[in-house]
């Protein structure tokens, strides 16, 4: 099968004493200790952790970027200068400052500087423009903005919008071709250069429950929402993923090619580094051709990923240098089972620390025991419950209570909301409440609805299966899009695929449709051979009814597929793009012509 899933785990899988599980056990214990401290030490924050490293190990490298290097002492001093600049501009505890910068040191230092004041950075998605960008900023009501020259045009296009027109000050950082502050902007670096570099008293007064930054959802299913990150949850992420999962030490160099407006970068990666006192190796952006050379330049031992990144690297031409690196471990989410083993083997990765967690979620699952094809373990309460794919809602009994699925089965993941794992939510209270289920198993309990389907593997482990909205029902059966994508991607003529369900007249449920990127020319695809391959890999109901070839797939700034427009266009895309259909009983996909479309609309075609 194309998808070598791990359905279940047992006690021996988890506790078997292999060298990789035993290595770094002291870091695991340190992670457990830090988790407890994040709950009971109220003044433990990004600022106090940074200042502690700067005091104990001032000359240890904290950050590397494009051949430059900052020690912990230097990084902390710059964060203090930035904090005093923000403070002089009227920013204080509880305020929000929009940060519109590409991946660059100033963005990271600004987050640290604001954290020292108890203020929050709103990390703008640098791919957003116009109404979407104005909406995002409007959801957090920032007092001021820090904008880079490379992105000033994006801000300038919305600066008269009522949601951002009151920003004051607007600080400017040179970037791109724009080196001097435009009219109405202040030179942030010039102001910061004249500020004192010593620690501020303000940092000691910041609570662990304060917001340190906001991350905006990618907008794959609607307008973005701002998810809140507290210092406590950020530190718990570093303890769980960096120490317990990756077993980081100060000697590690963590390479991050993902954008800082993405939680995999700012939370997963940077929190892991700071909790361990390691080095953060920041890249301007991800590049397939430059990835491994940059990893070598930074002497990286760890890097972060999202699943698509791994697929892009694996799709590149094999090289004699594929294993010429010092990387011992990687961390991220979305590494599909169909490429897990190939990725690990080709690049010689010893430890894949897959995790599961949402930007707004209250729990994290981490593959801390280094097992293949699992999203990991969580010791805190959660439930995997039965669901109805038609209504996309959990199934309840006559008393309104939900039912957990059995080991090895797929269900909807719900995270229990507790004092230790609170739900911090969005800035929109109604949107936050809509994500909660109450009275799940008993009257007063409360669970966060992840909206994700997972396999309950046992031993408190899960495997990600799909977004609930991406799972559709066809011919009375549930179809998981990832399973179909894995089967398609295993065919040599297909480079990449995106699968979704579409409504067809006179049919119940949704028929499967796949937007594919051919590996070569579309004329090279053997449509009969593709059907034969899919029939070997998938049950009949899961084989896509429609195929839509596309030169490339559209993704968001965080590399998530944009399925909303594909679903809307269904099998009638704009600009007469070709669509292929598999009619019941046929042995090959055929071009969907006008006659076939008429028969389809009239319900005369068996699918």
d(CA 290, CA 275): 28
Q: Looking at per-residue confidence, does 32 or 350 come out higher?
A: 350
The pLDDT, as a whole number, for residue 218 is 57
**336 to 3, 261, 286, 471, 564: CA distances (angstroms):** 8, 23, 19, 16, 22
Residue 22: how many other CB atoms lie within 10 Å: 9
Q: Which backbone phi and psi does 58 adopt, to 5 degrees?
A: -60, -30
Q: pLDDT tens digits, residue range 111-128?
A: 999 999 999 999 998 988
Model confidence pTM above 0.85:
no
Cβ neighbours, 10 Å, residue 228:
20
* pLDDT value, residue 301: 98
Residue 568 has a CB neighbour count (10 Å cut-off) of: 10
**Cα–Cα distance list, 344 to 223, 264, 433 (Å):** 36, 20, 40
What integer pLDDT is reported at residue 208 of this predicted model? Answer: 95
Mind giving me the DSSP string for 515-532? EEEESS-GGG--HHHHHH
Q: Does position 41 have pLDDT exceeding 90, yes or no?
A: no
CB of 155 closer than 8 Å to CB of 175: no
pLDDT category at 557 given cuts 50, 70, 90 is low
For 78-107, letters b (16+ CB in 10 Å) and e give: bbbbbbbbbbebebeeebbbbbbbbbbbbb
Window from 50-64, 352-366, 458-472 with minimum mean pLDDT:
458-472
Q: What gap in Å lies between CA 228 and CA 274, rounded to an integer? A: 20
Give the Å distances, CA to CA, from 109 to 50, 205, 233, 268, 472.
11, 20, 20, 17, 44
Locate all alpha helices (DSSP H) within 461-526, ordered by sequence: 481-489
Cβ–Cβ under 8 Å, residues 249 and 448: no
Q: What is the mean pLDDT of residues 83-96?
A: 98
**For the CA atoms of 7, 12, 13, 19, what is the dihedral angle to 10 degrees?**
180
Q: What beta strand segments (E) does 193-270 contain?
A: 211-216, 226-230, 253-256
Structural tokens at position 359:
């930007």
Say how far apart CA 156 and CA 225 lie, in whole Å: 22
CA-to-CA distance for 255 and 248, rounded, in angstroms? 13
Give the number of other CB atoms < 10 A from CB of residue 352. 22
In this prediction, residue 508 carries a pLDDT of 75
- Chain position carrying tokens 């992420």: 237
What confidence tens digit (pLDDT) does each residue in 442-455 have? 999 999 999 899 99
> What tokens were used for 589?
């996909």
- Among 125, 119, 151, CA closest to 137: 125
Q: Are strands 279-282 and 61-65 parallel, antiparallel or unpaired?
A: parallel
User: Is the distance from CB of 44 to CB of 37 less than 8 angstroms?
Assistant: yes
Q: Which residue's entry shows tokens 């089972």?
A: 337
The domains located in the chain, with CATH, are 11-366 (3.40.50.12780), 380-469 (2.30.38.10), 471-601 (3.30.300.30)
Q: What are phi and psi of 447, to 5 degrees?
A: -130, 145
pLDDT at 2 exceeding the cut of 50: no
Maximum Cα–Cα distance across the chain: 77
> Hey, which of 101-105, 315-319, 547-551 has the most confident mean pLDDT?
101-105
Q: Which of 237, 225, 216 is nearest to 46 (CA)?
A: 237
> What residues form DSSP beta bridges with 466?
453
Put residue 37 in one of left, alpha, beta given phi > 0 → left and psi -120 to 50 → alpha. alpha
pLDDT band (50, 70, 90) for residue 476: low
């Amino acid at each position: 099968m194309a998808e070598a899933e791990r359905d279940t785990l047992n006690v021996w899988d988890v506790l078997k004493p292999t060298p990789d599980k035993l290595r770094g056990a002291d870091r695991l214990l340190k992670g457990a200790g830090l988790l407890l401290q994040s709950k009971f030490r109220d003044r433990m924050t990004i600022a106090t952790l940074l200042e502690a490293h700067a005091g104990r190990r001032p000359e240890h490298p904290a950050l590397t970027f494009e051949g430059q290097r900052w020690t912990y002492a230097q990084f902390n001093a710059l964060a203090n200068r930035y904090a005093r600049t923000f403070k002089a501009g009227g920013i204080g505890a509880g305020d929000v400052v929009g940060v519109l910068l590409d991946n660059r040191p100033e963005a990271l230092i600004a987050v640290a500087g604001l954290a020292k004041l108890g203020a929050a950075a709103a990390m703008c998605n640098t791919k957003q423009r116009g109404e979407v960008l104005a909406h995002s900023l409007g959801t957090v009501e920032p007092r001021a903005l820090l904008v880079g020259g490379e992105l000033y045009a994006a801000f300038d296009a919305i600066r008269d919008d009522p949601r951002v027109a009151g920003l004051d000050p607007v600080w400017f950082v040179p970037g791109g071709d724009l080196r001097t502050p435009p009219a109405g902007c202040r030179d942030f670096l010039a102001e910061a250069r004249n500020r004192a570099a010593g620690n501020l008293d303000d940092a000691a007064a910041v609570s662990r429950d304060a917001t340190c930054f906001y991350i905006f959802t990618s907008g794959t299913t609607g307008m973005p929402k701002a998810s809140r990150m507290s210092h406590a949850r950020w530190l718990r992420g570093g303890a769980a993923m960096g120490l317990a999962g990756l077993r980081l030490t100060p000697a590690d160099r963590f390479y991050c090619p993902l954008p800082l407006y993405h939680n995999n970068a700012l939370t997963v990666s940077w929190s892991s580094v700071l909790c361990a006192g390691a080095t953060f190796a920041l890249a301007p952006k991800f590049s397939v051709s430059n990835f491994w050379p940059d990893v070598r330049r930074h002497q990286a031992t760890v890097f972060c990923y999202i699943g698509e990144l791994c697929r892009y690297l694996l799709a590149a031409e094999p090289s004699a240098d594929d294993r010429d690196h010092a990387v011992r471990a990687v961390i991220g989410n979305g590494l599909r089972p169909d490429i897990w083993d190939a990725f690990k083997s080709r690049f010689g990765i010893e430890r894949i620390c897959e995790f599961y967690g949402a930007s707004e979620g209250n729990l994290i699952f981490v593959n801390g025991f280094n097992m293949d094809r699992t999203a990991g373990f969580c010791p805190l309460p959660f439930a995997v419950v039965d669901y109805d794919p038609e209504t996309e809602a959990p199934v309840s009994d006559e008393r309104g209570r939900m039912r957990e699925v059995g080991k090895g089965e797929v269900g909807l993941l719900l995270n229990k909301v507790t004092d230790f794992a609170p739900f911090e939510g969005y800035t929109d209270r109604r949107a936050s409440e809509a994500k909660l289920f109450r009275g799940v198993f008993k009257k007063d309990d409360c669970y966060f609805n992840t909206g994700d389907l997972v396999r309950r593997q046992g031993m408190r482990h899960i495997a990600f299966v799909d977004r609930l909205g991406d799972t559709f029902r066809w011919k009375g059966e549930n179809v998981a899009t990832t399973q179909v994508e894995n089967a398609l991607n295993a065919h040599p003529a297909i480079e990449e695929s995106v699968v979704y369900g579409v409504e067809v007249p006179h049919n119940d449920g949704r028929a499967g449709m796949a937007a594919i990127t051919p590996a070569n020319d579309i004329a090279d695809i053997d449509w009969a051979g593709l059907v034969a391959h899919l029939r070997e890999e998938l049950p009949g109901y899961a084989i896509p009814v429609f195929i839509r070839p596309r030169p490339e797939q559209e993704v968001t700034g965080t590399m998530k597929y944009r399925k909303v427009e594909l679903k809307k266009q269904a099998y009638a895309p704009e600009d007469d793009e070709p669509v292929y259909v598999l009619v019941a009983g046929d042995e090959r996909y055929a071009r969907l012509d006008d006659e076939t479309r008429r028969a389809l609309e009239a319900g005369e075609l068996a699918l």
